[in-house]
């Protein structure tokens, strides 16, 4: 009995090694033919890592296969990539690939540990006029700059859900940092999302866009606006939160797999039950609170001044800084 068990284990080890050896591309995965591979690529699963990071139910739904088949495909992709536990030194090496986009304000950069990171979701919430969108636009412009000037030397995508994006504002910001109008016109991709399902679909299409256009930053302005509009009343809250949760996981997977920075803005709601302090709280609840890597609370001060408070980060202390929003963009307060 023990001998048979040992022989079986040895066979499984040999089989695992064979999978790793044979699987070099999507078509090599078990159960994936030419047509299935085409479908997968159309849906954004165009390399082994994007398949390995998917869930069986999601893959099954997107490419119209059984969940059991989806599980086998994902398992084979994971085995071929040798995904598993790793030592801290490997994690450190992977984090060395992280890029940072400067915001235009040294004080805000310092608050964020050097700028907005790739492989992370940075969320900024606040009332209207607090500078959330303006920070996103500045990041989209700055990402085009070379690394030595505070950019990524990669292109940007802006998903506009509120109709606040103006190309002339991006050109104004770009001109202030020495970029040509053509850089702004050709290297920043924009799209308008008209409802929450459309927004989800656009994010699902991003892996293909990121690869084709060398994208290093995705700005989603705003993350919650369409969900708030489409799901009204307490009876729809559970559905809204489930869809938002899945949407956020898709964004985090994008950040991890493609080494991009995700910057999302978020609305706030009034809390009349709060007697003292700021009576506002961000939309999205605990789901967004747990999923965002960095959380910024922005509020308006006198004139051009804005106050940013870092309220959550995996490694940085809470703190505040002052910056300004003027015709040139995001700058330090004098």
> What domains can be seen in the chain, in order of their start residue?
2-81 (1.10.150.20), 94-332 (3.40.50.300)
Q: Write out the two tokens for 304.
A: 């051009």
Answer whether residue 17 shows pLDDT above 50. Answer: no
In eight-state DSSP terms, residue 103 is -
Segment 305-313 mean pLDDT: 96
Q: CA separation (Å) from 183 to 145, 172, 244, 252?
A: 10, 12, 33, 27
Look up the pTM and report it: 0.81
pLDDT at 286: 78
Q: How does residue 329 score in pLDDT terms, banded at 50, 70 and 90?
A: very high
pLDDT tens digits for range 288-304: 888 899 999 999 999 99
| The pLDDT value given to residue 287 | 79
pLDDT tens-digit readout, 236-260: 888 888 999 999 999 999 999 999 9
Q: Give CA angle at 18 (14, 21), nearest 5°.
A: 140
Q: Please tell me the distance from the alpha carbon of residue 156 to that of residue 139, in angstroms, as a whole number.
A: 9
pLDDT at 18 over 50: no
- HSE-CB of 29 using CA atoms within 13 angstroms: 29
């Amino acid at each position: 009995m023990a001998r048979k068990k040992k022989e079986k284990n040895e066979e499984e080890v040999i089989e695992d090694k064979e999978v790793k050896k044979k699987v070099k591309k999507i078509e090599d995965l078990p159960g994936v033919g030419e047509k299935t591979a085409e479908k997968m690529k159309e849906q954004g699963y165009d390399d082994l890592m994007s398949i390995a990071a998917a869930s069986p139910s999601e893959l099954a739904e997107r490419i119209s296969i059984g969940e059991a088949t989806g599980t086998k495909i994902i398992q084979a992709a994971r085995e071929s990539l040798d995904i598993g536990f790793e030592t801290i030194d490997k994690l450190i090496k992977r984090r060395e690939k992280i890029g940072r986009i400067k915001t235009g304000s040294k004080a805000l950069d310092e608050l964020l540990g050097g700028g907005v990171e790739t492989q992370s979701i940075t969320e900024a919430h606040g009332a209207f006029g607090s500078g959330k969108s303006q920070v996103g636009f500045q990041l989209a412009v700055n990402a085009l700059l070379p690394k030595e000037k505070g950019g990524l030397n990669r292109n940007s995508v802006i998903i506009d859900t509120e109709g606040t994006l103006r190309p002339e504002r991006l050109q104004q910001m770009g001109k202030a940092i020495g970029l040509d109008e053509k850089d702004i016109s050709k290297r920043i991709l924009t799209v308008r999302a008209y409802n929450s399902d459309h927004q989800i679909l656009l994010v699902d299409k991003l892996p293909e866009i990121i690869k084709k256009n060398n994208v290093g930053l995705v700005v989603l302005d705003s993350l919650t606006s369409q969900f708030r509009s489409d799901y009204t009343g307490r009876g729809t809250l559970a559905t809204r939160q489930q869809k938002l949760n899945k949407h956020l996981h898709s964004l985090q997977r994008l950040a991890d797999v493609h080494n991009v920075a995700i910057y999302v803005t978020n609305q706030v709601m009034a809390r009349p039950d709060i007697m003292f302090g700021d009576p506002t709280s961000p939309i999205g609840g605990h789901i967004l609170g747990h999923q965002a890597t960095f959380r910024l609370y922005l509020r308006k001060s006198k004139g051009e001044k804005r106050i940013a408070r870092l309220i959550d980060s995996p490694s940085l202390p809470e703190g505040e800084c002052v910056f300004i929003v003027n015709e040139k963009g995001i700058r330090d307060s004098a």
